[in-house]
Amino acid sequence: MFYFQCAKVIFISAFTGRAADSGIRNFRLQGEGGRTIFMRTWQHPTQTVILASGSPRRKELLCAMGLSFNVIPGERFDENAFIDAADPGGSLERLAIAKTKRVAARYPAAAVLAADTIVVCGNRVLGKPADRSEARGMLETLSGRLHRVMTGIALTCREIDFCQSAVAVTNVYFRSLAREEIEWYLDSGEPFDKAGAYGIQGKAMIFVDKIEGCFYNVVGLPVKETIDLFKAFTARKEPWHVANE
């Protein structure tokens, strides 16, 4: 088990108080027109959070969101057996839920988060390549085309019978890739642990013409959907309250 205590990023200069029972911290910001904005961030020191994934990219993104969590990858799943090309979004959600429930069975009081990402190009579902040849074929398929990056995400707490999931979709447009560029990228070693055989945050950034949607979803963890699940878990409190002084 690995434990990550993430540095909390303070966006507001003046700390005004804490709602200890709810785990919500309030920060005071002077807004336009003399308004006072109270920003609540999800801070629940008594709640154990488990990331059921060994992905270093998901660890980094969850840390950047300000959460402290344990990393406990669940047992390996045959992910290809879960994914249905006719319903990629729904099958991704079911896979993420299955992963959370496997870990939640061992840690029922914890809030367990899991996610899985695939690339869909036309009717083809592209997971992680098995070898160089498969990675090359995936990159050739994506060259000069639009594809969708889909992430299924789930949050489960068995003790309170909480389980919610979501799926995020980002459209990614690749420019046409020369054979030499593909071989150069394969030589870098980056493609082999990534859905669709590329990492947008790495050397493959130069392949991208444009994206529509969440960039971090392409990296591996959609920010809005992740925060929405934790908001739902903490009694569905709204993140912002605006009041006039």
Q: For residue 84, give every residue at least 6 positions away whose Cβ sits within 8 Å of its Cβ, in sequence order, or none.
A: 90, 91
pLDDT at 68: 83
The residues with which 61 forms a beta bridge, in sequence order, are none
Q: Residue 4 pLDDT more than 50?
A: no
pLDDT at 198: 95
Distance from C-alpha of 98 to C-alpha of 83, rounded to nearest angstrom: 12
For tokens 């994914």, the residue is: 83
State which CATH number among 3.40.50.300, 1.10.260.40, 3.90.950.10, 3.50.50.60 fits the domain covering 2-244. Answer: 3.90.950.10
Task: Report the DSSP pairing between strands 2-4 and 69-71.
Answer: antiparallel
User: Per-residue pLDDT tens for 145-198?
Assistant: 999 999 999 999 999 899 999 999 999 999 999 999 999 999 999 999 898 999
Instruction: Give the percent of the chain with pLDDT over 70.
Output: 76
Q: Which residues are catalytic?
A: 116
Mean pLDDT of the chain: 80
pLDDT at 44: 57
- Helix ranges (H only) for 35-131 are 56-64, 79-82, 88-104
Residues 138-146, mean pLDDT to the nearest whole number: 97
Distance from C-alpha of 184 to C-alpha of 177, rounded to nearest angstrom: 11
Distance from C-alpha of 135 to C-alpha of 156, rounded to nearest angstrom: 33
Dump strand ranges (E) for the chain: 2-4, 14-19, 24-30, 35-42, 49-51, 69-71, 111-121, 124-126, 146-157, 162-174, 208-212, 240-244
Structure tokens at 173: 């447009």
Q: Using CB atoms within 10 A of its CB, is residue 88 exposed (0-12), middle (13-18) or buried (19+)? A: buried
